[in-house]
Amino acid sequence: MKKYLLILFDTNENYEAMTPDDYQKEIELHGKWIQELGEHYDSGEALEEPSKTIRGKELLVTDGPFIEAKELVGGFYVIRANSFEEATDLAKGCPTLRLGGAVEVRPIMHIEM
């Protein structure tokens, strides 16, 4: 199986009105999803704010990523799948989508030698 990167875009305002119980339920949904992924799950990391972008040989530093201001990359998963289609289908199960977030799927380049 090939590896795919799933990048999670969160819309942070969705978290503001959540109760402690809501947070727990949201975590449980992710836990369940990862369990269902089974051997497809490889690893994952959460990302913290803030974020800076450095550009070009002038090393111009600016705040934030260059996407829609409300969305922030909250973390990424590495999953294994047999095809890009399968990886995309698996990504559709990511619970963060229920809250209006987005998931970007990218194949991780791997060259057989």
> Which segments of the chain are extended strands (E)?
2-11, 41-46, 52-55, 60-63, 71-81, 102-107
Provide the mask over 28-47, with x wherever binding to other proteins is found by CB under 8 A and - wherever it is not: x-xx--xx-----x--xxxx
Give the side-chain half-sphere CA count within 13 A for 47: 16
Q: Residue 65, interface with other proteins (CB under 8 A)? A: no
- Name the segment binding other proteins (CB under 8 A); options: 54-62, 72-80, 82-90, 101-109: 72-80
Interface with other proteins (CB under 8 A): 10, 15-24, 26-28, 30-31, 34-35, 41, 44-47, 74-77, 95-96
